[in-house]
Structure 1
C-alpha cells in the first residue's frame, strides 16, 4: 500500500486528472444515455405471487387510483354535484394512459357512494385505471379544478400515490456539520475539507456509474439515495482515518511523501479491510432472495468501492498537493522554525497527555471493568428492547404526515368507506368444475361474517376457470388486524371452503403481497444475521489471530445492530418522534430497512473494532501486559473514533429529514447505532470485557496458527523516533507533542509513559 500511496503522491496531477476525466466521462454517458431505474417486482414464492401468475401478465400492467370528493351542505348525489363531477371524470377519461373510469353514479354500482349527509359521510369516489404512461399531475389538476368551499376533491390510491423527494437542504446541513467537527478536530481548514472532498467525489462518481449501470442491472430509483447515504458516511470516515495518520507522520518528522506512504501502509490498509467487509455484507443481501434488495445492495457496494478507491488514490494526491497545509498554523510555525524543541516542553506535553480525558477514561474502564460492562449492557438492553415488538410491513396513507395530500385523501375515504378501502384483498380462485363454483359461492356467502371483513364482492370471471373475489378489510393495510385477517383466511376460512371440492383459492393483491414479503424477510433475516456475524468473526480471526477477540467483536456487532433496530422501532413504529421528522405517524417498518441496517452497521462496527483492537494488539505484542494494552488502545483511538462517530451522526441523521420514510428510518437508525457503537460498545463494553477475560483473550490454538493465513491490516508505521532529550530536526521536522497532535506517542515510548 505504501508503494501505491507514494506513487499517487509523486504523480499527483496524473491522479487528479484521471479522477476528473473519469467523472467527466461518466457525466457524458449519463447525459447521453440517461438512467433506466425500475422497480423490480421480484416476489417471493408465496400465495400472492401465485395469484398474480393466475391472473396473467396483464395484471401488473395497470394500476388503479381513486378520485374522491366530499360535499358540505348538499347531497353528494345531487344533480348539481353529479353534473360537475361527471364532466370532470369525462376529462380524466380522455387523458392518455387512462384506460377506464368507474363512476359511482352508474346505476348498477352504488357501492362507491356514501350519501349520509347527517353524519358528515357525504362522500363518493371513482376508480381510475391507468397505465405507466399516464401523467399523474394532469389527473390531479383536472380533479381539483372543481374544488370549492362546498366541494373537496382529493386523489389517492396506488396509482396516484405522491412521490416523496429527498430534502437536499438537510443533507447539505449534515455535511456542513461534519465539516465543523473536522475543523474542531484538526484546526486546519484544508485538513477538515479533505475528508469531505474525497467522500463527495467518491459518491458522485459512484452514483454516476450506478446510473449508467441501471441500463444493465435492474435497480430501483431508491438505489441512488441509499448509495449517497451510505457512501457519504463511510467515505468521510475512511478519509478521516488516513488524514489523521498522515498528520501524525508529519508531526513525527516525516516528509510529505513519506507521510503519505506511512498513512497508506497503515490506515490505508485498514480502510481497504473495512471497505471490503461493508461490500461483502451488502452483497450478501442476495440470501434474502428479493431483487429490489439485491439491487440496492449492489448499488451501495459500488458506492463503498468508489469511496475506498478515492481514499487510497485521490486522497494521497491531494495530500501531496497541500503539503504541510494539512497542519494547523501553530504546527506549521514549529515546523518552519526547525532548530531545537526543549525537552521540558516535550515533558509538559507528555504530562498533559497522561491527564487527557481519553487516557483518564481508559484508566477508569480498566480499573473497574465489571461495573462498566454491566452499565454498558444495561444501556444496550434498554435501547434494544423495542426490537422485540418490531413489525415489518408497509406504511399506508393513514400514517402519512398530517396535511399531506395522501393523508387528506385517507381522511375523506375512511369515515365513509372504512379504513381498509385501499387494502382490498384479491381472492383468485381456480374453479375447474361446477362443484368448485358452488364451493366458491358458499365461501363468498360466508366471508361477510369473518371478523374484520367490511365488504365482499361477487365472483368475477378472470379467465378460463378462474374467478376473482374482492374482500375489503375493516382496517387499513398497515394495521395488525389486516395481517391477522390474511393469515386467518389462508389458515382456516379458505381450507374449510375448499374441503371436498377441486376449488383452489389464493389470497393476493397489494396488501397480501406486502404481508408475504414481510413474512419472507423475517424468515430469512436470521440467516443473514448469522452470515454477517460469521463473516465478521472469520475476518477478525485472520486479523488478530485470536478466538476470544473476534467472538467479543461479533457479539458486540450484533448488539449494535439490535440497538439500531430497536431505536427505529420506537421512533417510526411506535411514533416516538416520527412526526417531528416529517414522515407522519407510527407505522410498520419497511422490509428494506432491517436488511440495510444489518449490512451497513456490520461494516461500520467492524471498522471501529479493527481500529481499536489493532492498537491494543500492537501494544500487547510490545509489552505482553493486557491491562496496559487495553488502556493504551482506548486512550489513543478514542478521539478519532469519537470524531468519526459524530461525523457519521451528522451525515446519517441529516437523511432523517429527507421526507422519505424509508430513507429517514435508515438514516436515523444508522446515526443512533453508530453513536452507541462508538461511545458505549467500543469505548466501554469491549475494553471492559477484554480486561475481565485477561491475557487469554489473545490466545490462539497452535493448530490454527499453522493453517491460518496471515493478514496484516496495518503495516508498520515507520514512525520517526524522537530523541528522549530533545528533537533536533532538519526543516520540516518537529516533535509531535508540543504541536498539539491528536493522538499520543506510540510503541514503547507510549508504554513507558503509561506505566510511569
Structure 2
C-alpha cells in the first residue's frame, strides 16, 4: 500500500494542474447535481419489525387516505389569571383565530377548540389542531404568516397563545455561529502548529472541498436533510486532520533532506497509508450503524461514511497537488531559503541542529515512562470517576420538552401539560384488528373496558372504526409524561393485555403513537448495542494486529477505546440527565439521553480513536523496528507525532464543540459527546495511557506468534518496505545523532 500511495503522491505533485482541475470538476458536478436534484421527501421515521411500525402499517392499509402525512399545528390558548377560556370575550378571540386560519388555501381540517375533549377541566386552557394538505417544507410563506398573525391578534386580546407541531418546525440546523468559531479555532491551531499561513490554510481548503462535494452528493442522492448533520461534523473534522498529518509529514521529509516531489511522495506513502487505514475504520464503524435496523440511523451513517471517503481521497490526491503549487510556502519561514526547490533532486541541505531544544512531546514521553505504573493507574482511575454517571444512564427520544423555553413549541407543551396533565403530550394509540372476530364493536368495547381499568391510564377515547368496520382506533392518555419510565411500563402493561384479547375474541391489539414508537426505538437500539460493540471492538483488535503485528498493542487500544466511550457517556449523563453545567451549555430540559446516542457515539469514537492510535503508535513501532529500545522508541515516536496529534485533537474538539451551541437537543448532545470523547481519548488514553502501557510491556508489546504473523496480510501500513527500497534508490546524507534522544528508564 505504501509503495502505491508513494507513486500516487509523486504523480499528484507532478501533475498538480490536472489533479486540481479534476477536483474542481468533481465539486462542480456534485454542486450541479445537488441543484438539479428533486427536493428530498420529508424526513420519515420508521422502525421495521417493531409493534409500533406494524400498527402504523396496518392503519395505512385499513384507513387509506386518512393517515396521509401533512403538516399540523396545535394552537394552545390559555386564559389570563382568574379567567376561563370559555368566557365570552376570550371565546370570541379564540374563534376569530380559528376562523382566520381555517380559511387558508393549504388547510385541510380544523378541530374545534371548544369540543369537550379540547377544554381543560378548569376551563383555563383549550387547544385546536390545524391539519394542512402538504408537508411542512411545502407550506408557503403566506400560510405561515397567516398562522402567526392570527396568533398575535389573540395575544393582543390578552390570551396566552402558543403553537407546536411540524408546521412551525424549522427543520434541522446545519450550522451556527459556534460552528464558525470552531473553524476559526481550527485555523488558529493550524497556524500555531505550522507557523506558516499556507501550511495552515491547505488543510482547511482541502477539508472544505471534500465536505462540499460530500454534502452536495448527499443532496443529489435524495437523502433527507437530517443525514447531513453527522456528515458535516465528521467530514470537516477528519478532512482537516488527515490533511494535517500529511502536511506535517511532508515538512518532516523536507527537513530530512528530501526535495519537494520526493517529500510529497514519501508523505503520502507513509502518513497517507495511515490516513487510508484510519479512514477505513471510520467508514466501517459508520456503515455498521445499520445493524440497529433504524433506517434514519443507517442513512446518517452511510452519508457520513461517504463524506469520510471523499476526505481520504482529497487528502491523497488534491493535497499533494496543492503542495506542488506551494512547495516552499508550507515550510517555516526560517527553512524556506535553505530548502531546495528542485523537484527532481533527492537531497537538500537542511539539517536539524544537534543541540535543538527538545520537543514537548519528547519531554512528556520521558515523564510518563519514568513513572509508568503510577501514570497508568491514575489515568484509568480518572476516567473511571468520569464514567460513574453512566450507571444511571436512561435512554429515550426527547420531544418538545427538550426545546428551549424561549421557543413557542416548548411553551405550548408546558401549557398542555399544566392544563390537561403530563400524559396529554404523549397519548397512546391503540389499534384493534378485529378482522377475524365475530363482533368488532364488542371487541372494541372489551378493549376500552380493559384500558379504563388499567393503572396509569387517565383517559380513554371512544373507538373510531374504518369504513369496513373491522379495525378500530382507541386513544389512551397516560398519567405520566412521554419520557417518564412509568409510561414505558404502562406501554408494556397494555401490550400484555393483547394476549387476553386474542384468546377471548381472536382480535389483535397493537400499541403505537409517538410515545410508543420512541420506546420501541430505545428498546431496539439497546438490543443492538451489545453485538455492535462486540463487532467494533473485535474489528479494532483485528485491524490493529494487521497494522502493528502485535497482540497486546491492539488489546490495549481496544481497552482504551472502551474507557473513552464510558467517560464520554458519563459526561453526557452528568450534563443532559443530571443537569450539571446545563445552564452554561444551554440545555433547556434534563431528561433521558437520546436512545440512538450510544450506538452513534461508539461508532464514531471508534473510528476517531483508531486515528490517533495509528498516527501515534506507528511512529513508535517504526522507531522500534529500526533498532531502538522500547523506551527510546516511545520518546522518538512522541517527538515526531505528539505535536500533530495534539493539534488534530484540539481541532476536532473545536469543530464538535461548535455544534453544542445549536438549539436542537440531539445535535447539542452529539456535539458534546464527540468533543468529550476526543478529549478523553486523545489526551488521556493515547497521550498518557498508551506510553505508560507500552513502557510497562517493553518488548512484549511487539510480540506476535509466527503462525499468526504468516496468516495476517502484510499491507505495509507504516511503509517499512517502502523505506528500505527508497533508502537504496534515494539515499540522503545522514544527519548527526542527537544526544537528547537517549533516555534513562
Q: 1:61 aligns with which of 49, 63, 68?
A: 68
Check conservation: 1:166, 1:659, Cα contact below 8 A: no
CA distance in 1, matches of 2:291, 2:43: 19
Check conservation: 1:282, 1:298, Cα contact below 8 A: yes
Comparing 629-638 with 428-437, greater Cα deviation is found at: 428-437
- Does residue 81 (structure 1) correspond to residue 90 (structure 2)? The answer is yes
Check conservation: 1:75, 1:115, Cα contact below 8 A: no
Report the secondary structure of 1:176's partner residue. helix
Check conservation: 2:372, 2:693, Cα contact below 8 A: yes
1:413, CA displacement in angstroms? Answer: 1.5
Check conservation: 2:34, 2:220, Cα contact below 8 A: yes
Q: 2:611 aligns with which of 588, 595, 607?
A: 607
Q: Measured at CA, do residues 133 and 611 of structure 1 come closer, stay the same or move farther in structure 2, by a change above 3 Å?
A: closer
Instruction: Kindly report which structure 2 residues correspond to 1:275-424, keeping only aligned pairs within 5 A, or say none.
Output: 275-335=279-339, 346-349=353-356, 352-353=357-358, 356-424=359-427
Check conservation: 1:44, 1:516, Cα contact below 8 A: no
What root-mean-square deviation, in Å, do the aligned CA atoms of Structure 1 and Structure 2 show? 2.7
Q: Measured at CA, do residues 205 and 140 of structure 1 come closer, stay the same or move farther in structure 2, by a change above 3 Å?
A: same
1:347, CA displacement in angstroms? Answer: 2.8
Comparing 388-397 with 154-163, greater Cα deviation is found at: 154-163
CA distance in 1, matches of 2:348, 2:504: 99
Check conservation: 2:440, 2:470, Cα contact below 8 A: no
- Does residue 110 (structure 1) correspond to residue 116 (structure 2)? The answer is yes
Q: 1:539 aligns with which of 532, 536, 543?
A: 543
CA distance in 1, matches of 2:50, 2:19: 51
CA distance in 1, matches of 2:78, 2:419: 10
CA distance in 1, matches of 2:695, 2:270: 26
**Per-residue displacement from partner, 1:512-564 (whole Å, max 9, x unpaired)?**
01110110000001111111111111111111111111111122122222222
Report the secondary structure of 1:542's partner residue. helix
Q: 1:90 aligns with which of 65, 88, 99?
A: 99
CA distance in 2, matches of 1:35, 1:250: 49
Which residue matches 2:216?
A: 208
CA distance in 2, matches of 1:65, 1:471: 21
Which residue matches 1:174?
A: 182
Which residue matches 2:43?
A: 39
CA distance in 1, matches of 2:15, 2:116: 77
CA distance in 2, matches of 1:270, 1:99: 57
1:233, CA displacement in angstroms? Answer: 0.5
Check conservation: 2:43, 2:226, Cα contact below 8 A: no
CA distance in 1, matches of 2:165, 2:29: 41
1:126, CA displacement in angstroms? Answer: 1.2
1:406, CA displacement in angstroms? Answer: 1.0
CA distance in 2, matches of 1:575, 1:585: 8
Which residue matches 1:640?
A: 644
Check conservation: 1:37, 1:221, Cα contact below 8 A: no
Q: 2:267 aligns with which of 263, 269, 274?
A: 263
1:127, CA displacement in angstroms? Answer: 2.3
CA distance in 1, matches of 2:360, 2:8: 36
Q: Measured at CA, do residues 342 and 133 of structure 1 come closer, stay the same or move farther in structure 2, by a change above 3 Å?
A: closer
Check conservation: 1:101, 1:128, Cα contact below 8 A: yes
1:655, CA displacement in angstroms? Answer: 1.2
1:640, CA displacement in angstroms? Answer: 1.3
Report the secondary structure of 2:626's partner residue. helix
Q: Which runs of 5+ in 2 are unaligned?
A: none
- Does residue 163 (structure 1) correspond to residue 185 (structure 2)? The answer is no
CA distance in 1, matches of 2:454, 2:375: 54
- Does residue 101 (structure 1) correspond to residue 110 (structure 2)? The answer is yes
- Does residue 487 (structure 1) correspond to residue 492 (structure 2)? The answer is yes
Which residue matches 2:161?
A: 153
Which residue matches 1:17?
A: 21
Q: Measured at CA, do residues 307 and 59 of structure 1 come closer, stay the same or move farther in structure 2, by a change above 3 Å?
A: farther
CA distance in 1, matches of 2:477, 2:174: 33
- Does residue 557 (structure 1) correspond to residue 561 (structure 2)? The answer is yes
Aligned residues: 717
Q: Which runs of 5+ in 1 are unaligned?
A: 726-744
1:647, CA displacement in angstroms? Answer: 0.8
CA distance in 1, matches of 2:669, 2:421: 28
Comparing 636-645 with 241-250, greater Cα deviation is found at: 636-645
Q: Measured at CA, do residues 359 and 329 of structure 1 come closer, stay the same or move farther in structure 2, by a change above 3 Å?
A: same
Q: Measured at CA, do residues 337 and 409 of structure 1 come closer, stay the same or move farther in structure 2, by a change above 3 Å?
A: closer
Report the secondary structure of 1:454's partner residue. strand
Q: Measured at CA, do residues 722 and 110 of structure 1 come closer, stay the same or move farther in structure 2, by a change above 3 Å?
A: same
Check conservation: 1:270, 1:610, Cα contact below 8 A: yes
Check conservation: 2:173, 2:664, Cα contact below 8 A: yes
1:454, CA displacement in angstroms? Answer: 2.5
Which residue matches 2:131?
A: 129
Comparing 357-366 with 284-293, greater Cα deviation is found at: 357-366
Q: Measured at CA, do residues 752 and 418 of structure 1 come closer, stay the same or move farther in structure 2, by a change above 3 Å?
A: closer
**Per-residue displacement from partner, 1:78-101 (whole Å, max 9, x unpaired)?**
233323322321332232343221
Which residue matches 2:620?
A: 616
CA distance in 2, matches of 1:340, 1:664: 50
Give the TM-score of the pair, scaled to structure 2: 0.91
Q: 2:198 aligns with which of 184, 190, 212?
A: 190
Report the secondary structure of 1:126's partner residue. strand
1:232, CA displacement in angstroms? Answer: 0.5
Check conservation: 1:175, 1:650, Cα contact below 8 A: yes
1:754, CA displacement in angstroms? Answer: 4.3
Report the secondary structure of 2:544's partner residue. helix
Check conservation: 2:37, 2:219, Cα contact below 8 A: no
Check conservation: 1:185, 1:643, Cα contact below 8 A: yes
- Does residue 475 (structure 1) correspond to residue 477 (structure 2)? The answer is no
Which residue matches 1:456?
A: 460
1:405, CA displacement in angstroms? Answer: 0.8
CA distance in 1, matches of 2:658, 2:623: 38
CA distance in 2, matches of 1:162, 1:192: 36
1:614, CA displacement in angstroms? Answer: 1.1
CA distance in 2, matches of 1:377, 1:436: 62
Q: Measured at CA, do residues 22 and 539 of structure 1 come closer, stay the same or move farther in structure 2, by a change above 3 Å?
A: same
Give the TM-score of the pair, scaled to structure 1: 0.89
Comparing 609-618 with 86-95, greater Cα deviation is found at: 86-95
Check conservation: 2:85, 2:124, Cα contact below 8 A: yes
CA distance in 1, matches of 2:710, 2:24: 46
Report the secondary structure of 2:505's partner residue. coil
1:209, CA displacement in angstroms? Answer: 1.3
1:317, CA displacement in angstroms? Answer: 1.0
Check conservation: 1:166, 1:660, Cα contact below 8 A: no
Comparing 134-143 with 404-413, greater Cα deviation is found at: 134-143
CA distance in 2, matches of 1:316, 1:750: 34
Q: Measured at CA, do residues 722 and 32 of structure 1 come closer, stay the same or move farther in structure 2, by a change above 3 Å?
A: same
Report the secondary structure of 1:89's partner residue. helix
Which residue matches 1:144?
A: 152
